[in-house]
Amino acid sequence: MAETFLDQLKITADSIQEASEGRLLSGAHVSVELPIAPIRYLYSGWQSWSLTAWVEMGRPLGPMRPSSLPAMQTDPAYAGETRPHGSWYGAVEMPDGQVLLLGGLGLESHVMLQGQILTGWVEAGEAEWFVGCGNEDVIFEQYAGLLKQNFGSGRAQKSLRVWCSWYSLYSGITEARLLKILGDLGDLPFDVFQVDDGWQMTIGDWEPNAKFPGGMDGMAASIKVTGRKAGLWLAPLLVVPSSGLYQEHPDWLLRDGHGRPVSAGFNWGEQLYALDTTHPGVLDWLRALMEKVRGWGYEYAKLDFLYAGALPGKRSVDMPREAAYRQGLKAIREALGEAYFLTCGAPVLPSLGLCDGLRVGPDVAGFWASHRDEDLLMNTATPGTRNAIRTTLQRLWLKPLVQTDPDVTYFRSRLNDLTAEQKQLLQDLAQIAEFKASSDVPAWLTESEQAALRLFLESNPGVLKMGRNSYELDGRGVDFGAQIDLPPLPGPFTNLMGAVLGGLANVPFLMRIFNALEKRDLGKRLAENPV
């Protein structure tokens, strides 16, 4: 059936070769003309948090709001595109259920559907492509195998069970709080205790702040005494204006054609900028930073906001942007040595072969969905459990190439608005992805919740895929399909309110006020809920 359908396709490329389950193409521009109209398109997001989902044909996906944030959430080069498109690959579902995939086998490749024609192109140079048609799982397995030949795969054989500070304490971590939690974890079978954002002086100045008087080496030593690996979060490809790095090395910044620093978004109450990973000074600095982290005693590195290294811009060495990112990642990988390397906020294909784990969805949260973000701002890349599950499910085909991180699970009811069913979906997804993490503070768990967490960490259920969004875990059916639909399109009034809100979010002064209010609220929550 698939072979017959393949023969009906009109394929345009510089060369076409037979391949298992499909065809191999070459050319800077290729196209595949379909004999009939598809019913769904698979959007493939650029980086960890970017939307990846099957969407009904005719269902528009307009530009996300606010316009100041696409650099943080999608590929800014295509942020305004409303036609079905995606990074590296695109797929369509035909009326008979067959799936046709056009996938790039190299960097800087993009796919778009125009009418009944799938078009692929690269931003620089020539390219190779795979076209396959038939069963979705079989086609993506073939695509993964070809990518493995070109990029390699992660080195880690065993998945690690991680306790991460972010989803309970956020930036409110202190040495005292973490040491208290570390002791309260007791013999809960976590392999890694990972310190997240909040320990550093500022973004770009990666030294411990006053909240960690014992230093980061002292923190690592305390973690290792418990028999766990010490983990640390950094965002090494970002820099903010308040940092010493920004002031001392302006020549290290990625710049646009007019010589202005390229925006990498807005966070921590400041404008974010990107480091140029082709600059020899930046590469040396990255190596030294990773060696310092290893010297402190950390064997698990979660590196975040890595998209900054692949943003469009003018670099000191002229090379394609994803190749430049990969060059920076290679320097990091070499300096980390045998440490486990988890990438987050990372361009997906350019990270393959250089990292052990990859976040494959947006951040989870203690709520299911945000009316502000999903309805008013039409933004599916923001933190939220539904957003995280939706995108993660469609990236599990990457498992032969890298450990797929779906983000943390929740067991606590305190400071959590998720229903029991929604928490169970997150837990089931972690079992399917084979990547288990939690941020739950022991003092916030009831006895039954702590027992459930222990059982989760110790369990290893048999997983059988039954459909695109359905599985069996030890014979128990799990269906995510009804839970991950895209939110309905906003009506005129909602759209107007979203446009106003999106405009306000583009004002740095207002964003700084919002950041300050979030910090105040976090401090209040932690004071009312001690660890």
Q: Is the pLDDT of residue 338 over 90?
A: yes
Residue 222 inside a domain? The answer is no
Q: What is the mean pLDDT of residues 148-155?
A: 94
**Tokens 């989870």 label which residue?**
364
The pLDDT of residue 205: 98
Statement to judge: residues 171 and 76 lie in one domain: no
The answer to whether residue 54 scores a pLDDT higher than 80 is yes
38 and 92 in a common domain: yes
Q: Are residues 52 and 132 part of one domain?
A: yes
Polymer length in residues for the chain: 531
Residue 283 amino acid letter: L
Tell me which of 49 and 19 has the higher pLDDT.
Answer: 49
pLDDT digits (tens, 9 = 90+) for 92-126: 999 999 999 999 999 999 999 999 999 999 998 88
Report pLDDT digits (tens) over 513-529: 989 999 999 999 999 99
**Do 395 and 465 share a domain, yes or no?**
yes
Residue 243 in any domain: the answer is no
Lowest mean pLDDT among 198-207, 317-326, 456-465, 494-503: 494-503
Marked catalytic residue, from 196, 197, 276, 304: 304
Whether the upstream peptide bond of residue 213 has omega within 30° of 0, thus cis, is no
The CA distance from 121 to 147, in Å, is 17
> Is residue 284 assigned to a domain?
no
Task: Identify whether residues 109 and 184 lie together within a single domain.
Answer: no
User: Within this chain, do residues 413 and 478 fall inside the same structural domain, yes or no?
Assistant: yes
Looking at the domain assignment, is residue 366 inside a domain? yes
pLDDT at 32 over 80: yes
Q: What are the tens digits of pLDDT across the range 276-297?
A: 999 999 999 999 999 999 999 9
Q: Residue 434: is it exposed, middle or buried by C-beta count within 10 angstroms (0-12/13-18/19+)?
A: middle
- CB contact at 8 A, 425 and 464: no
- Specify the DSSP element, H or E, that contains 396: none
CA-to-CA dists, residue 283 to 55, 151, 279, 305, 381, angstroms: 40, 21, 6, 17, 30
pLDDT digits over 359-414, tens only? Answer: 999 999 999 999 989 889 989 999 999 999 999 999 999 999 999 999 999 999 99
| 75: pLDDT strictly greater than 60 | yes
Residue 276 annotated in active site: no
**Which of 93, 121, 146 is where one domain is finished?**
146
Total domains, the chain: 2
Residue 467 pairs in a beta bridge with 470
Residue 363 among the catalytic residues? yes
In this structure, the answer to whether residues 369 and 515 fall within a common structural domain is yes
| Nearest CA among 53, 187, 143, 170 for reference residue 469 | 53
Residues 463-517: pLDDT tens digits?
A: 999 999 999 999 999 999 988 889 888 899 998 999 999 898 888 888 899 899 9
Separation between Cα atoms, residue 290 and residue 332, nearest integer Å = 6
The pLDDT value given to residue 4: 60
Categorize the per-residue pLDDT at 201 as very low, low, confident or very high, splitting at 50, 70 and 90: very high
* Catalytic one of 197, 363, 405, 407: 363
The beta strands (E) that lie in 244-401 are given as 263-267, 270-274, 300-303, 340-343, 357-359
- 390 and 461 share one domain: yes
Burial class of residue 336 in the structure, from the number of CB atoms within 10 Å of its CB (0-12 exposed, 13-18 middle, 19+ buried): buried
Q: What is the mean pLDDT of residues 76-101?
A: 95
Residue 2 above 50 pLDDT? no
- 135 located within any domain: yes
The dihedral sign for the CA sequence 281, 284, 289, 290: positive
- Strands 229-234, 300-303: pairing kind: parallel
Number of H helices, E strands in the chain: 15, 28
Instruction: Report the side by side order of strands in the sheet with 463-467.
Output: 463-467, 470-473, 476-479
Domain carrying residue 462: 161-190+356-528
My answer on whether 177 and 37 are in the same domain is no
- Per-residue pLDDT tens over the stretch 239-279: 999 999 999 999 999 999 999 999 999 999 999 999 999 99
- Order of strands across the sheet that contains 357-359: 403-405, 357-359, 340-343, 300-303, 229-234, 192-195, 161-164, 436-438
**Are 147 and 105 in contact, with CB atoms under 8 Å apart?**
yes
- Placement of tokens 């070109």 in the chain: 150
Pick the closest to residue 202 from 247, 145, 150 (CA basis): 247
Pair of tokens at residue 487:
């939110």
**For a pLDDT cut of 70, what percent of the chain falls above it?**
99
Q: Does some domain include residue 430?
A: yes
- Residues 106 and 174 reside in one and the same domain: no
CB contact burial 213-237 (16+ within 10 A = b; e otherwise): eeebbbbbebbeeeebbbbbbbbbb
Q: Is residue 262 part of a domain?
A: no
* Mean pLDDT of the region 232-236: 98
- Torsion angle (degrees, nearest 10) of CA 83, 85, 91, 93: -20
User: Do residues 78 and 171 share a domain?
Assistant: no
The answer to whether residue 93 sits within a structural domain is yes
Which of residues 117, 146, 175 is at a domain's end?
146
Helical ranges in 276-360 per DSSP H:
280-296, 321-336, 348-351
Q: Would strands 200-202 and 128-134 be described as parallel, antiparallel, or unpaired?
A: unpaired
User: Do 175 and 117 share a structural domain?
Assistant: no
Instruction: Tell me the CB-side half-sphere exposure of residue 415, using CA atoms within 13 A.
Output: 21
pTM, full prediction: 0.96
